Amino acid sequence: MENKIVSQVIGELIQDGTFPDWWNSRTIAIPLFENHQMVITFKDFMPDDDDKLIAEADEALRHFLALGVEYRNNISALIKERCDEVLNDVEIHEDEQAMRDITDVNDIWKFIHPSEIYVSRRARRDEDIYVQIACECDWEPEHGLQLVFRQGKQLTRVSEQDGHLTEADASDKPDEEDVLLSQFKVE
């Protein structure tokens, strides 16, 4: 018998067969990606160990699923900046030229392919809920792209897929020194 949990926002999640602390939803339309259908996974979660996670995750998902193309366009410059950082460190290849020649930053999304969405609690400091999107991207096929949204409300990290929820955690520095995270306003 499969174990299940229920989210008031995305419905039933089934316990993963390989990772017992992962719970997978059915496919959900993601407005940020023009309703691209994706599975949402609650990660690092054992129901008996964290009785508040589902309610807090639901609140984060309400915020995240309210973010649409307008919000995506507002963060395009940050994503293009990440692309440029990576491309500036490598030799120019013909297949990368289109990314280098972008004049409208919103065109960067043509080179991004979202693959997975995870919801988890940060294990240290704020212990908040974060929505993490793993993407393949044409400028970095090996390490991809990771977008992280604190409480599902606001982009707080743009990086390669390294599994860290914050730049502060990845670099072992104070949250105040994490540029995007420090701009997040707790309500």
Three-class SS string for the chain? CCCEEEECCCEEEEECCCCCCCEEEEEEEEHHHCCEEEEEEECCCCCCCCCCHHHHHHHHHHHHHCCCHHHHHHHHHHHHHHHHHHHCCCCCCHHHHHHHCCCCHHHHHHHEEEEEEEEEECCCCCCCEEEEEEEEECCCCCCCEEEEEECCCEEEEEECCCCCCCHHHHHCCCHHHCHHHHCCCCC
Nearest to 116 by CA among 137, 143, 136: 136
Res 108 pLDDT > 90: yes
Q: What band does 77 get if pLDDT is binned at 50, 70 and 90?
A: very high
Q: What pLDDT, in 10s, does the model give residues 34-62? A: 999 999 999 999 999 999 999 999 999 99
pLDDT at position 89 is: 82
The pLDDT of residue 1: 41
pLDDT per residue as tens digits for the range 123-152: 989 999 999 999 999 999 999 999 999 999
Q: Is the pLDDT of residue 93 over 80?
A: no
Q: How confident is the model at residue 2 (pLDDT cuts 50, 70, 90)?
A: low
The mean pLDDT value of the chain amounts to: 94
Is the pLDDT confidence value at 95 over 90?
no
Report pLDDT for 96. Answer: 78
Query: Structural domain boundaries of the chain?
Result: 1-187
Mean pLDDT of 69-79: 97
